[in-house]
Structure 1
Amino acid sequence: MSQSPPPPPQQPYGPADGNPYAQQAPVGAPGAPQAPYPPQPGAFAPPPPPPAPSRGNLALGLVAALVAALVAGALYGVIIGATEHEIGWAAVGVGFVIGLAGGKAGGRSPVVPIVGAVLALASVYLGQLVGEAMMIADYVHADFSEVFFDHLDVVQEAWKKEADPLTFLFFAIAAFAAFSGAKKAAA
């Protein structure tokens, strides 16, 4: 009793049945027809997205705030020296730029807004001294660097004599702007 093996499976559409593609080589093989269009994007899984930029680096945030304080203070001083007036919105800008720089680089660290506020106070003071030195240098027909670096004590005395409550209001506004700017930038 022997059984015969089952017949081999047949393809439903062979070349004899009218399928002209049944015996062709796969696409991309030598001698095979080429696709009429290039492969579409997304045919394979897309590469993973690049990692998000590092935020929350406390040291970088403090350095960024310090650099912003030096630059903004110098610019504020130039504005004061050129106009011969303290300008409140410029003090707000000084504080906000310091807070923004520190907050963007430093992230949500609670130290950054506090340090930003302290740096804003120092930056506004620096700016007011630069402005005072520019006015003194113009008045005595001397070079700014000579007045600022060689006679800083004279510049500070002149600043003390001209300081009024509005001067200290600008300090407070700049510190508040730095604190809130750092909080908003880190969010």
Structure 2
Amino acid sequence: MSQSSTPPPVPPAEQSGNPYAQGAGPQDTPPAPGFPQQQGGPAFPMAPVAPTGPVSTNIGLGLAAAVGAALVGAVVYGVVIGLTKHQIGWAAVGVGFLIGLAAGRVGGRNPVLPVVSVVLAAGSVYLGQLVGEAMIGAKEIGVGFNELFFDHLDLVQEAWKADADPLTFVFFAIAAYVAFSSARKAGH
């Protein structure tokens, strides 16, 4: 029996230099610069968060998108009123949401856009109510919608005033609130 003078075997983890291999711990390897070291386990580097780029704010496009959405919303809201002969709350919410979303997504974070969205939402609901009133009136008196709405808008507004109640104005407020909040959220 002869004795050898070789050193004891080194575990494979220490041979490879892998700090995450078994047998190596956070105390065995210094952290890389810029990467914090976790306590009580292997060190997992945390990637630094890149700063976000500049936020685009294009007020012109945001306003154009909001105006387009207001016109589309007014027509849809008016058709809903004309077909059901009732104002429906979710339709006013939809008008406000559509306007705010269009303004915020296209225009960005500009602080003017939520305020303009409020005004456009109230105007869109009003125009939608006039469209609905004209649809109902055109059926009742047997004339075409275009003739009543475009040639006799004063009669449509008089009918709207006669039919307006407190709930009518609640729909203005609902659409305005939803437009403001959705424009702010969509822009961020």
Normalising by structure 1, we get a TM-score of 0.71
Q: Higher Cα Rg: structure 1 or 2?
A: 1
**C-alpha separation in 1, matches of 2:157 and 2:102:** 28
1:56 aligns with 2:66: no
SS class of match (1:179): helix
| Structure-to-structure mapping, 1:85-124, within 5 angstroms | 85-124=86-125
Q: Show CA shifts across 1:84-116 (max 9, x none).
A: 000011001100100000000111111000000
Corresponding residue for 1:166?
167
Partner of 2:141: 140
- 2:79 aligned partner: 78
Greater than 3 Å deviation, 4+ residue runs: none
CA distance in 1, matches of 2:138, 2:59: 39
Provide, for residues 59-99 of structure 1, a one-character-per-residue CA deviation record: whole Å limited to 9, x for no partner: 00000000000001111000000000000110011001000
Does the CA-based 8 Å contact 1:80-1:87 persist in structure 2?
Answer: yes
Q: Which letter does structure 2 place at the counterpart of 1:64?
A: A
Residue 56 of structure 1: how far off its partner (Å) = 1.3
CA deviations 1:123-148 (Å, max 9, x no partner) are 00000000000000000111000000
Give the Cα–Cα distance (whole angstroms) in 2 for the partners of residues 147 and 85 of structure 1. Answer: 19
Matches within 5 A, 1:27-38: none
Q: CA deviation at 1:55?
A: 3.4
- In structure 2, distance between residues paired with 1:133 and 1:91: 18
In structure 1, runs of 5+ residues without a counterpart are 1-51
1:156 matched residue in structure 2? 157
Q: Distance in 2 between matches of 1:180 and 1:95?
A: 9
Alignment length (residue pairs): 136
Q: Is the 8 A contact 1:55 1:105 kept in 2?
A: no
Task: Normalising by structure 2, report the TM-score.
Answer: 0.70
CA distance in structure 1 between the partners assigned to 2:94 and 2:183 by the alignment: 13
Unaligned 5+ runs, structure 2: 1-52
Q: Distance in 2 between matches of 1:99 and 1:82?
A: 26
| CA–CA distance in structure 2, aligned partners of residues 184 and 111 of structure 1 | 14
* CA-atom RMSD in angstroms: 1.4
